[in-house]
Amino acid sequence: MELMIKKIINKFYPTYKGKFDGKEFEVNNWDLSNFILDKIIPAVGVRPFPLSELSLMVSSVAWVSPSHIFEWGTHIGKSARIFYETSKFLKINTQIHSIDLPEEIEHAEHPHSKRGKLVRGKKNVFLHLGDGVDTALKLYESLEKNAKVLFYLDGDHSYEMVYREMFSILKKVEHPYIILHDTFKQTEESNYNIGPSKAIDDIILEFKDIKFKRIDTYTGLPGMTFLYTC
């Protein structure tokens, strides 16, 4: 009976065991996989984020334990919902600030009235309108110096915009953690937009005095990169 009760408790109130002695990126893949299957996929599905990208998003939050997440490209709120559910599961008191285009700006992916519907009313989730990186950095300036910040970039995927966003973050934030979406790198024959991937490569070359580490999902589209400094 006692064993059965423990199984029921673990199923409905799982705990994450994720303390490691090493200094490199490491998470408990088994516990996080169970969490993704139980909580994340029922909430957001696997589009636009396939399993590999869901794993990287959740793992990044688990490893960083951010005090604040600034993300842009809210749409209906799938990425914000992933960060919300993950922070809740890990018992991290994380503020999530999700930024999207103002209503009057036309864009093919503008959600209009559906903006952020998956996170409306969720604790510690705040929806903003404006330019992604400008709004995020303005909010960042009001934080305490010991704030641990994770940025999630999923707005305009042009080379110029991604480069500008990363450049702005690295000039302002000393040790940022950055997740970028749509970063799959392929040869010219594919006709894919490889602007985000090239922007990452060029930023690393531009900031030669910073030691970067990166984790990529490189098996196929859309592609995701976790970039951090050390």
The tens digit of pLDDT for each residue in 50-96 reads 999 999 999 999 999 999 999 999 999 999 999 999 999 999 999 99
Of 37, 52, 85, nearest to 224 by C-alpha is 52
Tell me: pLDDT of 15 over 80.
no
Phi, psi of 229 (to 5 degrees): -105, 160
Tally of CB atoms within 10 A around 206: 13
Is-above-0.85 flag for pTM?
A: yes
Q: What's the average model confidence in pLDDT over 37-59?
A: 98
Q: What's the average model confidence in pLDDT over 44-51?
A: 98
Tell me: pLDDT of 228 over 70.
yes
Percent of the chain with pLDDT over 90: 81
Does 84 reside within a domain? yes
Does 37 reside within a domain? no
Does 55 reside within a domain? yes
CA 213 to chain centre: 16
Does 43 reside within a domain? no
The tens digit of pLDDT for each residue in 105-129 reads 666 666 677 899 999 999 999 999 9
Q: Which domain holds residue 161?
A: 50-229
Does 10 reside within a domain? no
Tokens of 141: 């300036």
pLDDT at 9: 46
CATH number at residue 99: 3.40.50.150
Q: What's the average model confidence in pLDDT over 129-143?
A: 97
Number of domains in the chain: 1
SS3 126: strand
Does 42 reside within a domain? no
pLDDT at 162: 98
Q: What's the average model confidence in pLDDT over 177-203?
A: 96
pLDDT at 110: 64
The more confident residue out of 95 and 11 is 95
Does 12 reside within a domain? no
Does 114 reside within a domain? yes
